[in-house]
Amino acid sequence: MPRLVMKFGGTSVADLDRIRNVARHVKREVDAGYDVAVIVSAMSGVTNQLVAWCKDAAPLHDAREYDAVVATGEQVTAGLLSIVLEGMGVNARSWQGWQLPILTSNAHGSARILDVNGAELIKRFADQKQVAVIAGFQGLHKETGRITTLGRGGSDTSAVAVAAAIGAERCDIYTDVDGVYTTDPRVAPKARRLDKIAFEEMLEMASLGAKVMQVRSIELGMLHKVRIFVRSSFVKPEDIDPKLPPPGTLICDESEIMEQQTVTGIAFSKDEAQISMRRVQDKPGVAAAIFGPLADANINVDMIVQNVSADGATTDLTFTVPSADYERARVTLEKAKDAIGFDRMDGATDVAKVSVIGIGMRSHAGVAAMAFKALSEQKINILAITTSEIKFSVLIKASQTDQAVRTLHTLYGLDK
């Protein structure tokens, strides 16, 4: 029998009515002949409440106990969905992360999956036709025997890892949108849902601001060649025609995509901050003196622009960090001022990063140049640029983000 993994996020299981709707989706796939494993998130808002309780109990709480608390949200959902499925005549059992087990690193609150044992699930598929309802977001550190959690969006990662472990035909991610769009439809009303998108493109879009999928889950899917299908949980199961392809977006290997557009999508992020170091001594080791302390503080640096002065003695160096790390980055650099040797430090939080993504860029010249010309015609000033093989990003004023996204969306023919 073909195997299928179905993952449902917090809004999809927000209350018992929605859990019953999820159960009907699961029963539809069971009736179609699939062996099904279901990964569930906590009910909408539950994890936030659990996190708040941990903070109220003690601002500097033990990360191991934090995981023991926040992992309970998914356990509740798994149990409730199993009860509802049993009431519908579907043989189902709930599983916690430690029961499979899903083995992880010891980084509590942001653990990484190391291994998933799917043997028992496969055995129960064969012997009992039993649906496995698995609590997402959680695992087990083998050496300590402690429950771990995978960080925000970790249920997506759980789902892809389980799909790889059981050799699933695909991993269906049910969410509150019906797929991956060329950009945010709230910004560009003409944005279109993509039928297919390559792993590399989706990885770039997720890391550059698209909120549909979690980055680590895409990395895992690409590594293990797990086809991921993003679809809406709010379409009524009875309204889905089994003879037609369901609406959604398939994330797959680029070899499955017959014709590749030059540009696939536009992503943007307003969670950016810019830091400029003025009149830095232009000498070997200065970059290490700046970025070393930031790396030690676990602050990610993205765009970097360096302008060497006319006399060659000093340089201006500008870079971006996540806006949440802006103040911490400034403090870190002020402490290292003597080692770096700069005159002053400027900063701005009213900036945004807009990125153009597409595998087709590999074989087309001038894609970025078109964007620079179009943005200049709209009087949008570019503060910094970064490029890679399949994407380029520009830093602009945050107030011009929507205008830039719509301009680029139209420029590359994504409106059609």
387 belongs to an annotated ligand binding site: no
- Residues 6 or more apart in contact with residue 179 via CB below 8 angstroms: 193, 194, 212, 230, 231, 232, 247, 248, 249
Q: Does 316 score more than 80 pLDDT? A: yes
Q: Does 244 score more than 80 pLDDT? A: no
66 belongs to an annotated ligand binding site: no
Could you tell me the CATH superfamily of domain 3-254?
Acetylglutamate kinase-like (3.40.1160.10)
DSSP letter at 120 equals H
8 belongs to an annotated ligand binding site: yes
The predicted model scores a pTM of: 0.87
270 belongs to an annotated ligand binding site: no
Segment 71-124, tens digit of pLDDT: 999 999 999 999 999 999 999 999 999 999 999 999 999 999 999 999 999 999
Chain-centre distance for alpha carbon 26: 24
Helix (H) / strand (E) containing 329: helix 326-335
Give me the CATH topology for the region 266-411.
Answer: VC0802-like (3.30.2130)
DSSP letter at 245 equals P
9 belongs to an annotated ligand binding site: yes
Q: What is the structure's pLDDT at 212?
A: 78
186 belongs to an annotated ligand binding site: yes
Token digits of residue 218: 């895409």
230 belongs to an annotated ligand binding site: no
Token digits of residue 37: 């494993």
386 belongs to an annotated ligand binding site: no
7 belongs to an annotated ligand binding site: yes
Name the percent of the chain lying above pLDDT 70: 98
Residue 350 in 3-state DSSP?
strand
Q: What is the structure's pLDDT at 234?
A: 86
Residue 362 CB coordination number (10 Å)? 11
Segment 286-296, tens digit of pLDDT: 888 899 999 99
Q: Is the dihedral of CA 164, 162, 7, 124 positive or negative?
A: positive
74 belongs to an annotated ligand binding site: yes
Q: Is the peptide bond before 101 cis (omega within 30 degrees of 0)?
A: yes
* Domain spans of the chain, in order of start: 3-254, 266-411
Q: What is the structure's pLDDT at 132?
A: 97
Q: Does 345 score more than 80 pLDDT? A: yes
